[in-house]
Structures are given as C-alpha cells and as structure tokens.
C-alpha cells in the first residue's frame, strides 16, 4: 500500500495538450499500456534523460529528435524497455515514430518515443503501430488520469500533480504524471515523467527551468540506488496562456513558473517513494552542518542506501547504531564524530557522537512505528545542508523484483 497516497488528485487540462491511452496488448492483455501525448504546433519542450551508459533505444532517439526540432507528440509504451536491444531496438523505435508521424501529418523527428518495462527484449512494434489509430481517436485534453494509469508498471497507484499560478494577469496551469516504484535513483529525473504547462516560455529558459526543478525533486529521491536505462523527464510549454514570453531566468514571471513546476515535480517525485515497491515507510533524510552540499548529499545517500538502515525501518526497530555507522562510512573527506547529532523526528538520539542522555528505547520505538519519519543529521562542520527522500526495504520488495518477469 502506497504510504500517504489516496488516489489521483484533480488534474487540470493544459490547453494545447491532448492525451490518448489504450490497451494495445504490448505485454499483457487488457492492460492500458500505450499512451499518446499530442501537443499543438509551436509547443516547446525541454527534457532530462538518464545518465546510465546503457541508455535505452527510445532515449537515444528522443535525444536526437529533441535536438533537431520541437515535438508534435510523445509516444509511450510499457511492458518492454527497448533497452539492451542494439541496432534492432533503434530501428523499432524509429519505425514507431515514423508510423505515428504519418498518421499525424508531421515529420518522424517531431515524435519523441519513451518505453518502460523489461530490459533486453525487443518490443512488439507491430502491436504498438496497430494501436496508434485508437490512441489518436481517443485524444482528449482531459486524458491525464487515463495516461497516468497507462504508464504504470509495478506502480500500485497512478501518480499525478497539478498547480495553477499567475503570470501577471494570466493564469497558468502546470500538470504532470509520472511512473516509478523500483529501480529508482534517477540521477537526472525519474523513470518517466511528463509535465505540461500552457505558459509561453523560450526554449533555453524552459530547459533551465526543468533542470533546476529536477535537481530539487527527482534528483533527491532514491528507493534502491539503481539508475534505470530509460529515465526521462519532459516539460512541454504550449504558450496557450498568452502571457508575455518568459525569455530570461530572472524576474517574477520566471520565479513563479519555476516555483509551480518545482512543486509539481516534487509531488510527483515523492509519490514515487511513497509507492516504492513494498514500501511501508516514507523517510525524509535531512543532513545539515556540512562543509558542502556534496558532503551532505553523500551522507544522506549513504544512510538511504544502507540495507541495514532500511530493514530496521521496515521492522520498526530503533536500531540507531545502523544510522550512526552509515554516517561514519559516508565518502566525505573529514568527519569529527564528536560533533555529530542525530534525530528521529524531534527525538534526539545521538548528541556529540554518543547516545543522548535523555534518549530511551520507547521514545525511538514510538517514532519508528509511524508511517512518515525524518532522520536528521547535523555534522557540526559548516553551514551546508541537503534533503532527500527514501523508503524502507520490505519482504515485498524482494518478492516483487524476484517475480518481475513472471
């Protein structure tokens, strides 16, 4: 059960964007698995992609196409990642782009392909191409919720977010969906995230916006430390709101847009952790008092990636020594252990590198039984800080990943 998630919030339509979702039988019968996102001519796009060197064929093709021109449509399939498939996988991705372009009356490089699912198997491109007419026929500005279902794999719930903000006299909408539950340490964005706004934004400024928002959100989550071959986050801007074009990263208009986009990205990123495979805990790791943000992040991720820490949280066991040990082995240059303080929520567990005099096991146990917990670490070495979000590690995580291909 996803921690603190209770169904999709209301997802506002974005003028200039239509979505169609169908069950194309790509891997499993009667499962929504093919999504088309069409955008009006003149829409700008910005994206971040996985840094995994074994990036999937659709990532390669999407990068190539995005470098050439603005997109008219995004085509997303689940079931097969089309990664580790070599030249045939590239041919499959390009064939799907060409088939969709022919039906939409645009060029093949105006289509951005995205895939998620099992790595190393060619996907059935004929089924995808056969499903395109139904996707096109089902296009609707109100198709966000269906699309959120259509991009799911091991997710237990669909994930979406929407915000409205004001740019001068114009009201601007930002709406997005994401998928991801395991194989999550994005290192750029997340498994797949598609967000759109009707704001008018210059391409270079849109890229700056998406990069800044990703760094504050999707690049601050981890479930298991694994970076996918298919990670992608796309931000579309249709310009339909009619605001003066945001053409620089300074000023009130850019700040308002960046804030709304970051809020949507953060809600989507946290939803991934809340729905992590088998998760029973949503854990915030906050590290302060570091010499640099890099040091703080190194400590935070060492804690978040420790199987001993994660299993202790699943067991509701206040075994604070595991957190202490993780801090001690974090890959940072200097650490004065005598200045380290550790909190579980508001309970101070470690003070000046040793067990706090007022700490008791029942206090720690009471915190560990909560579904949402904050680990606070103060390194006592400087003014830098960082925050990430993670989950516990349960029996179900092992089961889900052991049975993933069955």
Active-site position among 48, 165, 190, 390: 190
Answer for the pair 27, 58: CB distance below 8 angstroms, yes or no: no
Answer for the pair 111, 71: CB distance below 8 angstroms, yes or no: yes
Assess whether 190 carries a catalytic annotation: yes
CA distance 78 to 213: 25
CA distance 144 to 35: 10
Question: Considering all CA atoms of the chain, what is the largest pairwise distance in Å, rounded to the nearest integer?
Answer: 72
Answer for the pair 173, 214: CB distance below 8 angstroms, yes or no: no
CA distance 278 to 373: 17
Please give the C-alpha separations between residue 166 and each of 171, 212, 252, 254, in angstroms, as whole numbers: 5, 20, 10, 11
Please give the C-alpha separations between residue 169 and each of 197, 212, 295, in angstroms, as whole numbers: 16, 25, 43
Q: Give the up-direction half-sphere exposure of residue 268: CA atoms within 13 A in the CB hemisphere.
A: 35
CA 115, chain centre distance (Å):
15
Just list the catalytic residues: 190
């Amino acid at each position: 059960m996803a921690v603190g998630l209770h169904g999709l919030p209301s997802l506002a339509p974005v003028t200039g964007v239509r979505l169609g979702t169908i069950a194309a039988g790509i891997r499993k019968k009667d499962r929504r698995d093919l999504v088309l996102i069409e955008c009006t001519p003149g829409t700008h796009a910005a994206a971040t992609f996985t840094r995994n060197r074994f990036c999937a064929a659709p990532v390669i093709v999407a990068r190539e196409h995005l470098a050439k021109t603005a997109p008219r449509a995004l085509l997303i399939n689940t079931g097969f990642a089309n990664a580790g498939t070599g030249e045939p996988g590239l041919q499959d991705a390009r064939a799907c782009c060409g088939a969709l372009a022919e039906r939409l009356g645009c060029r093949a490089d105006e289509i951005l392909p995205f895939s998620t699912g099992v790595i190393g198997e060619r996907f059935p491109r004929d089924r995808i191409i056969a499903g395109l007419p139904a996707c096109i026929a089902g296009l609707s500005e109100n198709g966000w919720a269906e699309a959120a279902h259509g991009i799911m794999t091991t997710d237990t719930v669909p994930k979406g977010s929407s915000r409205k903000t004001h740019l001068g006299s114009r009201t601007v909408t930002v709406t997005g969906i994401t998928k991801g539950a395991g194989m999550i340490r994005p290192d750029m964005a997340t498994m797949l995230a598609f967000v759109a706004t009707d704001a008018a934004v210059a391409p270079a400024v849109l890229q700056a916006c998406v990069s800044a928002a990703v760094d504050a959100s999707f690049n601050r989550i981890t479930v298991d430390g694994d970076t996918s071959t298919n990670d992608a986050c796309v931000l579309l801007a249709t310009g339909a709101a009619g605001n003066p074009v945001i053409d620089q990263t300074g000023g009130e208009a850019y700040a308002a847009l960046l804030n709304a986009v970051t809020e949507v990205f953060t809600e989507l990123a946290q939803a991934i952790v809340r729905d992590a495979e088998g998760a029973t805990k949503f854990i915030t790791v906050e590290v302060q008092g570091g010499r640099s943000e890099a040091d703080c992040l190194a400590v935070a991720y060492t804690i978040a990636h420790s199987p001993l820490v994660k299993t202790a949280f699943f067991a509701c066991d206040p075994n604070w020594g595991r957190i202490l040990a993780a801090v001690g082995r974090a890959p940072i240059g200097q650490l004065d252990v005598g200045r380290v303080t550790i909190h579980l929520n508001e309970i101070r567990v470690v003070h000046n590198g040793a067990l706090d005099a007022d700490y008791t096991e029942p206090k720690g146990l009471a915190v560990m039984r909560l579904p949402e917990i904050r680990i606070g670490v103060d390194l006592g070495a400087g003014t830098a800080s960082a925050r990430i979000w993670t989950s516990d590690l349960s029996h179900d995580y092992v089961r889900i990943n052991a049975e993933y291909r069955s």
